[in-house]
Amino acid sequence: MQEIGLIGLGRMGANMARRLSRAGLKLAVCNRTAEVAHTLAAEEANLRAVESYEALVDSLPAPRIVWLMLPAGEATETALQALFGLLSPGDLLVDGANAYYQDSMRHAEDLAAKGVEFVDAGVSGGVWGLDNGYALMLGGAPQSVARLRPLIEALAPAPDKGWVHCGPAGSGHFAKMVHNGIEYGMMQALAEGLALMKSKTEFDFDLAEVSEAWRHGSVVRSWLLDLTAEVLKQDQDLEKIQPYVADSGEGRWTALEAINQKVPAPVMSLALMMRYASQGNNDYPAKLLAMMRNAFGGHKVEPAK
């Protein structure tokens, strides 16, 4: 396959470049911090560092394939605007960010007006993707996805497993959005269940042993449980960890989409709300609740520490 361009060498992008390189594919790699690209290219035989979008596009054979692995939002929008003026008819642009699917539909339409093909790629696998492969959810025209087959088959866990052409532009990022909403719910359920067991002090559960047992034959066995069991082997009290859980935006989009479509999704929505609560956003409502109880029943209010 011809050399392709990969822009964005964060945790996901850098490991994707490594996996593609080790599959024998050649890449020109570019990052906001040029030193990162040069360091990575020095590690892998099939990688070549470039220092600007212009240099990347000029150096690739036409018709070009350029894959973005940048944070969704401003970073991706800025890159797309820059590349819009550089790419030519027949080129193919792939957005592998956790982007909002309606933005991807708009990008596809804008690029099509210039004759540039577009594929939105939902990518899952995290820091383990280098060794285990990535789950890929792809949206775009069939001929565009076909052009990416060598890349897809190298990135996926196996050439015929772990990837799907979901449908037209936007569908890949829509599938990834729902995937992450499900992830929120699964994580919340595991966390709540194990917390309930930990609070039952009279039984003195060894959560590492319980979660390890669940990994084998149980209907709740999963990769998330595998990772959780490993965490609990190292530390069950987690006293050095702040009870703060970030949200990337995908869970929020999933909840909003459920509202817009009038599809009940209480588990995913409540899991998102629990993340907001962990970020301190439940502190003021809880104070108001305490004051309401005091007002109608004279119940004690705990002073701030």
Q: Please name the residue that has the structure tokens 């990535």.
A: 134
Cα-based distances in Å from 37 to 7, 9, 23: 9, 7, 19
- Point out the catalytic residue in the list 3, 44, 183, 212: 183
- Point out the catalytic residue in the list 117, 176, 250, 257: 176
Query: Residue 89: left if φ>0, alpha if ψ -120 to 50, beta else—which one?
Result: beta
For residue 38, what is the enclosing H or E element?
A: helix 34-43
Q: Is 302 a catalytic residue?
A: no
For residue 68, what is the enclosing H or E element?
A: strand 65-68
Q: Is 176 a catalytic residue?
A: yes
Strands 135-139 and 117-124: antiparallel
- Residue 223 contacts by C-beta under 8 Å, 6 or more apart in sequence? none
What is the side-by-side order of every strand in the sheet holding 27-30? 47-49, 27-30, 4-7, 65-68, 92-95, 117-124, 135-139, 163-167
- Tally: H helices and E strands in the chain: 14, 8
Residues carrying an active site annotation: 176, 183
